């Protein structure tokens, strides 16, 4: 979400958005670890190929999603809301 979109949300909607991101953190951490393991295995087994870099694209999107989660947290702190 963009910061402008976050400012339009009500306090309750913002809390719900944060709860969703909070539950996704463990899944995201697991997926990043899994994809790093796949990349390391692929490099050791086959060397550098196109499919070696394919999981890195997924890691990029997961990390980019985490920056959106940080924006939600900053908006919560700016509104002085407690969870």
Domain parsing of the chain, residue ranges: 10-78
The pLDDT > 90 percentage for the chain reads: 34
Q: Average pLDDT, stretch 72-81?
A: 88
The pLDDT > 70 percentage for the chain reads: 98
Q: Is the pLDDT of residue 9 over 90?
A: no
Q: Average pLDDT, stretch 15-37?
A: 91
Write the pLDDT tens digit of every residue in 27-43: 999 999 999 999 999 99
Distance CA 78, CA 13 (A): 15
Distance CA 17, CA 69 (A): 9
CB neighbourhood size of 61 (10 A): 10
């Amino acid at each position: 979400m963009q910061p402008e979109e976050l400012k339009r949300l009500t306090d309750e909607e913002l809390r719900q958005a944060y709860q969703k991101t909070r539950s996704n953190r463990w899944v995201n951490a697991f997926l990043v670890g899994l994809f790093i393991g796949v990349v390391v295995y692929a490099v050791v087994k086959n060397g550098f190929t196109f499919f070696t870099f394919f999981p890195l694209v997924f890691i990029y999107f997961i990390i980019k999603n985490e920056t959106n989660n940080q924006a939600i947290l900053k908006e919560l702190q700016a509104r002085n809301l407690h969870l």
